[in-house]
Copies of this chain bind each other. A is one copy, B any other.
């Protein structure tokens, strides 16, 4: 029975805490958050105790921690927990600065403790099945990866200002997915972005509509497009074109109901809320982390995956600002 502590009791911490509590091989023992009420809520739901961050990190009986705090605490907490000998699951991103991530990963490497980064979409049953079939060779050699990712509605401008920008905040998931599906690191990044959804986002120096082309050393190509707004729900699609064909994973509609009237056939919008759309992914992600820790295997996605995605997001940000492609790696 793995004993787990939760650092950060916000929306995503609650998801992970609940998944630990429901897991047959793990136990959520303690929850810490700057907001006492938040940790109390999760503790009550999961039979965990309320604790402080220090208390959890110093507790020798705790095997693993989940870091779900604000981004600017991630790297410090990873380092402290690793030095305390704990396995760490940390929400993406490790840090908004690639150099800080590099330093953090060196600390973890020295500590020899497991670290997993929360690229939850890799664990979505649809995307995971697609990846498995890709590896099995169903469509042959990979040639073009297409990722379409559109949020239902833009975040508040205040959030946007602290977010690091669309490429680091939103597209980072798609950059990880593209690299994951390509099976080869991109070496060149070209990005364009516009503020078409909300003028205030543009005035805050960010974009809300963007497209990226990635290219690998062997010539494989990935295309990503993002929008901060989709009237029909949370649009999440991937497609891979290969030498023997094509494979894609589509959206999840609210129900399978379809009606047909004089105006045509109508199907439901797609699931609108990321916590609903990726509920199974969050559960399977935690299961993969707990399983890797229990089995003494290196968790995947690793800290290096977190670094790669951040480097790609930095490159995309720079490219969109400079108007020129940026080489990476």
Contact = CB atoms under 8 A, between A and B. Distances in A.
Interface of A: 125-126, 129-130, 133, 138-139, 141, 143-144, 146, 148, 150, 188, 190, 192, 194-197, 209-211, 213, 215, 218-221, 223, 225, 227, 229-233, 235, 241, 243-270, 323-325
Contacts of A130: 255, 257
Given A144-B211, A195-B219, A253-B265, 20 more contacts: A129-B254, A129-B255, A129-B257, A129-B268, A139-B231, A190-B213, A192-B213, A192-B221, A197-B243, A211-B213, A227-B241, A231-B245, A232-B264, A235-B246, A244-B261, A244-B262, A247-B258, A251-B256, A260-B270, A265-B266
Nearest to A210: B221
A264 B266 contact: yes
Nearest to A224: B223
A246 B262 contact: no
A181 to B, nearest CB: 13
A269 B129 CA distance: 13
Contacts of A221: 192, 194, 209-211, 225
Nearest to A150: B241
B209 A219 contact: yes
A261 B188 CA distance: 30
B266 A257 contact: no
A192 B220 contact: no
A322 B214 CA distance: 16
Contact of A249 (B143, B223, B255, B323): B255
Contact of A266 (B141, B148, B266, B325): B266
Nearest to A241: B227
Nearest to A235: B246
B260 A269 contact: yes
A64 B323 CA distance: 46
A209 B245 CA distance: 14
Contacts of A248: 257-259
Given A143-B196, A195-B219, A246 B225 contact: no
A196 B211 contact: no
Contacts of A220: 194, 196
B196 A219 contact: yes
A257 B324 CA distance: 35
A178 to B, nearest CB: 12
A252 B265 CA distance: 12
A221 B211 CA distance: 7
A145 to B, nearest CB: 10
Contacts of A146: 148, 225
22 contacts: A129-B255, A129-B268, A130-B257, A133-B259, A139-B259, A141-B196, A144-B209, A190-B190, A190-B213, A194-B219, A194-B221, A196-B243, A210-B221, A211-B213, A230-B246, A232-B246, A232-B262, A244-B262, A246-B261, A247-B257, A263-B269, A266-B266
A17 to B, nearest CB: 16
